[in-house]
Amino acid sequence: MPPPPSGSRATAWRIAAQNDWADTALAVASLQADALITADPALAAAAAGIVRVADIGELITPDGTSV
């Protein structure tokens, strides 16, 4: 059995568990003050008010390359 996570990873797991989230994506985005990009409407709804939910188009520059 692997050791329990520590540091930021442990904090992300704790936040996810406290909020009954299935994964840590939203917790990690919150910890890192990142925006969340997801195709999952339920995750986007859960993220509202916690982190900024960004559109996938924000990752594409005007010349068509990704950021």
pLDDT digits (tens, 9 = 90+) for 7-63: 777 877 888 788 777 667 777 887 787 888 888 888 888 888 888 898 888 887 777
pTM, two decimal places = 0.58
Q: How confident is the model at residue 67 (pLDDT cuts 50, 70, 90)?
A: low
| Domain range summary for the chain, segments of one domain joined by + | 7-59
Q: Sorting pLDDT into bands at 50, 70 and 90, what band is 5?
A: low
Query: Quick one: 25 exposed, middle or buried, by C-beta within 10 A (0-12, 13-18, 19+)?
Result: buried
